[in-house]
Structure 1
């Protein structure tokens, strides 16, 4: 997967700026076009009594124009990225972004964290839920407060890996993105030692560490286009495990659950925990992402 077109879902709040700054960083480092979109309530399709429907339509469009004008001001000094601004009507903001991504052939959709979350973490709301169960393209989420002091650029891509076909495909996709962005790649596996595993004999836990380390080394082999590091992270839960590594300037990439539909992002239980615990932006990849016309149907291993 090569990123050539980034779609940023914008809202007139600080979380809108969070997603916008992450989208700008992705577009800037990949050389992609950026489309900033505000999904507003659709106008009534059936005429109402008097001028109520016309007044409502005018109000919705006025608010939408004010919102997109705010995005324009935030990006007013950007000269190195081609930017389009779009208004789109839909009852669900996530569903509207899915529609729009298909229409403009975006390669990734970017949004901010839902309201009420913890600073530096991602909270999943209705927009993210719709995207993370329906989008045919990757979905990137910015943590709360990301837009206040965004890093000059992303410094590394990290893949949350476990040995299965979905994660192997995520590594291949991440290698392509990392090569495009000129970034190193890190593969991590989380060993959660709490709960039932807390009672595990130390010898069994040692064998588990050795196995996941070997899986990581195998996944890292053969990718000569990019620098690849591996790391096993252990903790009593997902948050504690992720807290044991440096995520400064990184973006974490996760594969969709294998139980979800093909060619869609689908959020499994582990991925949901990782998103909520990650102290950095997270990108969820769909299962078997569709190929663009002319890109070919097969991908060889780098």
Structure 2
């Protein structure tokens, strides 16, 4: 991969935290993602200000629920990592999280699923949905119940790949995580009469339909020799095939649909469907628009 695709790992991680079971799932996933790297975690709680929309503001320690130990359980779960926390009043959770991710140059936003729907599946809520359609940084969604049992890293790193530019960026990130964690990387390409070409994982329908095996071969050739790579040519509906191929202990990495007019991610139909149906965490990678050096969260 190119230099911009190698060595990527989340070092400044933002976790949306409201004390719910879904938030605890997000914390558990953040711990797994950060366990093998030098990372700092920022826990952020957003409180409603009332029925009318108002500009959000950072609460002081005595104003926020932190003084009552609100973040203690999450801090305990993240033991060994550098952890900070903040509480904001007003605005929407997605607005606050996205603004922080952009202005403070964070690498990753972690959110959970609302605890309704099938256990072990991602059930996209309004906060996650808004983030995934509006974030300019990577967003990962934890499936429901992820915190209910311990995790020893990811069993496999999976990358949805269709030969397109966004998928290539996601493949590079998946490769970096597989190298960091010492895991096998599985490159998955799905062909159907309508989607087997560059752009399928970005929600577009291209005019040409290359062979899935050819796309897999080209994708494998993009990768280095530091990781064991397995290419798989699948057939059927892309979102359904990738979800069925995934196991709960995997991490599935996909690309977004690239940027809109203000450099925000537009989530493609395949990525959106995957986030609703996959049994494992789904990491959505936007196309990078600038390089940002990391610094610890405070």
CA contact 1:30–1:181 (8 Å) conserved in 2 = no
Contact 1:135/1:265 (<8 A) preserved = yes
Distance 2:193 2:118 in 1: 25
Separation of aligned partners in 1, 2:239 and 2:87: 38
Match of 1:226 in 2: 227
Give the whole-Å Cα distance in 2 for the aligned partners of 1:150 and 1:210. 41
8 Å Cα contact 2:31/2:78 also seen in 1: no
Task: Compute the displacement of 1:28 (Å).
Answer: 1.3
The answer to whether structure 1 residue 271 and structure 2 residue 271 are counterparts is: yes
Matched, 1:38 2:39: no
Residue in structure 1 matched with residue 34 of structure 2 by the alignment: 27
Give TM-score scaled by structure 2 length.
0.78
- Change in 2 beyond 3 A, CA 1:77/1:113: closer
1:155 Cα deviation from its structure 2 partner = 2.5
The aligned length equals: 266
Between the aligned partners of 1:210 and 1:77, the Cα distance in structure 2 is: 46
- Structure 1, gaps ≥5 residues long: 46-56, 195-207, 295-302
For residues 61 and 255 of structure 1, what CA distance do their matches in structure 2 show?
39
Residue 253 of structure 1: how far off its partner (Å): 0.8
- TM-score, normalised with respect to structure 1: 0.77
TM superposition shift of 1:231: 1.4
Task: Describe the shift of the 1:293–1:71 C-alpha distance in structure 2 as closer, same or farther (beyond 3 A).
Answer: closer
Residue 75 of structure 2 is matched in structure 1 by 75
CA separation of 1:87 and 1:226: change in aligned 2, threshold 3 A: same
Residue 263 of structure 1, CA deviation: 4.2
Alignment of 1:42-191 (within 5 A): 42=49, 61=63, 64-65=65-66, 69-76=69-76, 78-191=78-191
The residue number in structure 1 matching 2:12 is: 5
Greater share of helix residues, 1 or 2?
A: 1
Does the CA-based 8 Å contact 1:122-1:143 persist in structure 2?
yes
CA RMSD, 1 decimal: 3.1
Q: Match of 2:216, SS?
A: helix
Distance 1:161 1:233 in 2: 11
**Cα distance in 1 for residues equivalent to 2:287 and 2:293:** 18
Shift of the alpha carbon at 1:69? Answer: 2.9
Counterpart residue number, 2:24 = 17
- 1:178, 1:184 within 8 Å by CA — same for their partners in 2? yes
Asked if the contact 2:193–2:209 (Cα under 8 Å) also holds between the matched residues in 1, the reply is: no
Displacement of 1:225? 2.5
1:87: how far off?
1.4
